[in-house]
Structure 1
Amino acid sequence: MAKYAPLASFLRRQKRAEVNLTFRDIERIVGGILPKAAAVDGWWRADPSGPVMPQHIAFADAGFVAEPKTRAETVHFVRLDAARSFSDAEEAEDGSRTS
């Protein structure tokens, strides 16, 4: 996680529940170039059945999940509490539609 520790620190300092960063912003924060694999959505999203990657640990330690838009070279980071609240609200809304 050492390479992505500055990104985790940056995210922890954010007051907002959602943060949008370009790949260039992230490269400035980490002080290095993102790997070519960052151009693939899966590099940003943790797969429970796959290996744990350093960038996933950094996002999780900061309390965020990444929602990449790789074509636009941007990443939308959502605070885990906000992501849970949003999915809980969606589930409640879906449940009310079927009642």
Structure 2
Amino acid sequence: MSNRNSKYEPLQNFLKFQKTKSIKMTFFEVEDILGFTLPKSAYEHEAWWDKSDSHTQSFAWKNAHFIAKPNLKEKKVEFVKHIED
């Protein structure tokens, strides 16, 4: 995949080194890794966390072989290891 995710590369690198099959994080923890505040849409729309190829941010977790499962009410996300067939 292309380097379209350079802004989100710190998250990709963090996830690549996780030894567990899933990791739960608060949005604040994700922001801490990234070094910037997530956009308002990340807090308001589950679609922001989709694995769509049209979402630049999704390349970060897709390239690390994870999918994102957000909980907007709690402002948390679970990244789950996903190896495509």
Residue 55 of structure 1, CA deviation: 1.1
> How many equivalent pairs are there?
79
What TM-score results when the alignment is normalised by the length of structure 2? 0.87
Residue 67 of structure 1, CA deviation: 0.3
The residue type equivalent to 2:20 in the other structure is R
Map 1:1-99 onto structure 2 (within 5 A).
1-39=5-43, 40-47=45-52, 52-81=54-83
- Higher-RCO chain (CA-CA 8 Å, sequence separation at least 6): 2
The residue type equivalent to 2:54 in the other structure is V
Q: Which has the higher helix share?
A: 1
The residue type equivalent to 2:72 in the other structure is T
Residue 4 of structure 1, CA deviation: 0.7
CA distance in 2, matches of 1:3, 1:20: 21
Q: CA RMSD in A?
A: 1.3
Structure 1 spans left out of the alignment, 5+ residues? 85-99
CA distance in 1, matches of 2:54, 2:15: 19
Residue 46 of structure 1, CA deviation: 2.4
CA distance in 2, matches of 1:41, 1:23: 13
Residue 52 of structure 1, CA deviation: 1.4
Structure 2 spans left out of the alignment, 5+ residues? none
**Identical-residue share of aligned pairs (%):** 35
Decide which structure has the larger Cα Rg and report it: 1
What TM-score results when the alignment is normalised by the length of structure 1? 0.75
